[in-house]
């Protein structure tokens, strides 16, 4: 039986010091991608243009935004999936895959108001969904649900965005508080990422699963949020599942 969320708790694991607060500058187009975008789609992998059983790493849409499915999980006995909380605009509830013509679920919980950028969607009756699987550029991968683990500084990770595909990265900071300027949402205890080389994420990658190795096994640590500028440097960031209590 997969874990269930109980409630949010703060974490302070940034090299033994207090968490830092930075602004998420997605309003500057020259240095940062937007966390989400309207339904004007950039170029994306053709595999995301068709209806498929629900797994992590594929395109989803709400009424006003586009994102990526993070991971299918069980929540309060229901088949659900997690994604980024900011993929839902005000009043958004229904989720489609790959577009509005194929509804696959409805918003059940959004922890963004609790300073955690994680949302839970209940899968609609009759929709195929497989827990703990992620679609990647090289095929389906089985992962463990990282409900009680957190990556460490410099650990190697990867994420699978619906638009950017596989993006390799490493941990730059393990506990940082940020502010989303467009909404003024406070998102706490996120993990900062250094994307490899010229790697970039695109609008619509929000909610993507972020994965790393624990004891030689692939573990999904959380869901991708977007980009943040700290000083002159740009980082990716994600909200760890470990920020929540799971039963």
**Tell me, what CATH number does 153's domain have?**
2.40.10.10
**Same structural domain, 142 and 232:** yes
Are residues 213 and 197 part of one domain? yes
Residue 22 lies in a domain: no
DSSP state of 18: P
User: Per-residue pLDDT for 164 more than 80?
Assistant: yes
Residue with tokens 């974490």: 11
Domain end residue (candidates: 98, 131, 164): 131
Q: How confident is the model at residue 12 (pLDDT cuts 50, 70, 90)?
A: very low
Does 29 have pLDDT greater than 60? Answer: no
Domain that holds residue 104: 54-131
Please state, in angstroms and as integers, the Cα–Cα distance from residue 138 to each residue in 62, 72, 133, 141, following that order.
27, 19, 13, 9
Is residue 2, in this structure, part of any structural domain at all?
no
Q: Strand 139-142 to strand 94-96: parallel, antiparallel, or no bridges (unpaired)?
A: unpaired
Q: Residues 154, 120: one domain?
A: no
Calculate ∠ Cα 65-66-71, nearest 5°: 125
What integer pLDDT is reported at residue 14 of this predicted model? 30
Among 48, 27, 16, which Cα is nearest to 165's?
48
CB 14 within 8 A of CB 6: no
Model confidence at 46, pLDDT cuts 50, 70, 90, reads low
In this structure, the answer to whether residues 126 and 180 fall within a common structural domain is: no
70 shares a domain with 113: yes
What does the pLDDT average to over 36-57?
64
Going by pLDDT thresholds of 50, 70 and 90, the confidence category of residue 23 is very low
Report the alpha-carbon distance of residue 42 to residue 27 in Å, rounded.
18
Residue 32 located in a structural domain: no
Which of 131, 164, 199 is the last residue before a domain boundary? 131
- Is the domain of 142 the same as that of 157? yes
Q: What confidence tens digit (pLDDT) does each residue in 66-122 have? A: 999 999 999 889 999 999 999 999 999 999 999 999 999 999 999 999 999 999 999
- Looking at the structure, do residues 235 and 154 belong to the same domain, yes or no? yes
Q: Which pLDDT value is given to residue 228?
A: 79
Q: Give the per-residue pLDDT at 182.
A: 63
Q: 211 and 191 in contact (C-beta within 8 Å)?
A: no
Single out the residue in 110, 131, 152 at which a domain terminates: 131
- In this structure, the answer to whether residues 61 and 88 fall within a common structural domain is yes
Token pair for 15: 């090299």
Residue 107 vs residue 9, higher pLDDT = 107
Is the pLDDT assigned to residue 13 strictly greater than 60?
no
Range scoring the smallest mean pLDDT among 31-35, 125-129, 214-218: 31-35
Give me the number of domains the chain comprises. Answer: 2
Query: Does a structural domain hold residue 140?
Result: yes
Is residue 7 a part of any domain in this protein? no
Whether 105 and 156 map to the same domain: the answer is: no
The verdict on 147 and 229 lying in the same domain is yes
Do 141 and 235 fall into the same domain? yes
């Amino acid at each position: 039986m997969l874990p269930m969320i109980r409630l949010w708790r703060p974490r302070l694991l940034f090299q033994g010091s207090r968490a830092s607060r930075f602004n998420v500058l997605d309003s500057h187009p020259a240095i940062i991608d937007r966390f989400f975008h309207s339904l004007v789609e950039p170029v994306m992998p053709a595999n995301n243009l068709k209806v498929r059983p629900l797994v992590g790493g594929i395109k989803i849409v709400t009424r006003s935004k586009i994102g990526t499915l993070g991971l299918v999980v069980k929540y309060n006995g229901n088949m659900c999936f997690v994604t980024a909380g900011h993929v839902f605009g005000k009043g958004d509830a229904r989720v489609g895959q790959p577009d509005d013509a194929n509804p696959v679920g409805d918003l059940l919980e959004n922890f963004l108001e609790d300073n955690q950028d994680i949302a839970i969607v209940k899968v609609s009756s009759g929709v195929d969904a497989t827990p703990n699987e992620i679609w990647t550029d090289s095929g389906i991968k089985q992962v463990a649900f990282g409900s009680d683990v957190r990556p460490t500084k410099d650990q190697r990770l990867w994420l699978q965005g619906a638009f950017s595909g596989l993006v390799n990265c490493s941990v730059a900071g393990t506990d940082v508080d940020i502010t989303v300027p467009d909404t003024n949402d406070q998102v706490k205890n996120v993990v900062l990422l250094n994307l490899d080389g010229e790697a970039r994420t695109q609008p619509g990658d929000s909610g993507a699963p972020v994965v790393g190795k624990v004891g030689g096994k692939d573990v999904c640590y959380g869901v991708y949020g977007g980009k943040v500028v700290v000083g002159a440097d740009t980082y990716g960031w994600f909200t760890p599942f470990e920020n929540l209590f799971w039963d």
